[in-house]
Structure 1
Amino acid sequence: MSGVFSRLVGQDAVEKELIAAARAARGDSTHSGPSAETGIMTHAWLITGPPGSGRSVAALCFAAALQCLADGTPGCGECRACSTT
């Protein structure tokens, strides 16, 4: 995947979950996924894991996707919001 989530190496399940949550935050319920089914996003996310597991990278990718201004999949990696997060 291109965009901000390209920094998540070997974390396909995490990537899919975070993208679904970012879509839900946009109100995009046209895509399937656990978060998109209700059409809303929870008020907080707790990202856990052992040292070196990529928690910080996942959190930054998620933050960028939530701020992304591009149409389509959140976290384009090209808009100002993605590049400054």
Structure 2
Amino acid sequence: MSGVFSRLVGQDAVEKELIAAARAARGDSTHSGPSAETGIMTNAWLITGPPGSGRSVAALCFAAALQCLADGTPGCGECRACSTT
């Protein structure tokens, strides 16, 4: 994956889930989580894991994707919101 999620190495399932949540936050599609019936993203995320697992990287990628201004997949990595998050 290109964009901000290219920093998230070896976490394909996490990447897909975070992209789906960012799309749901935009209203692009339904998220597979607990609020799939309403098509909205949950109001909070808890990112956990052992030291060195990439928690901070995942959180920063997710934050950038939520702020992304580009059309298409959230987290383009090129817009101002992605590059400053």
When normalised by structure 1's length, the TM-score is: 0.91
After superposition, give the CA deviation of every residue in 1:1-60 in whole Å (9 maximum; x if it has no partner): 100000000000000000000000000127878766641011100000000000000000
Q: Is the 8 A contact 1:20 1:36 kept in 2?
A: no
Alignment of 1:31-70 (within 5 A): 38-70=38-70
Q: Name the SS for the 1:41 alignment partner.
A: coil
Q: Is the 8 A contact 1:49 1:55 kept in 2?
A: yes
Partners of 2:33 and 2:39 in 1: how far apart?
10
Q: RMSD between aligned alpha carbons?
A: 1.9
Q: How many residues align?
A: 85
Partners of 1:79 and 1:50 in 2: how far apart?
31
Identity of aligned residues (%): 99
* Structure 1: runs of 5 or more not aligned: none
Partners of 1:76 and 1:39 in 2: how far apart?
22
Runs of 4+ with >6 A deviation:
30-35
Q: Is the 8 A contact 2:24 2:30 kept in 1?
A: no
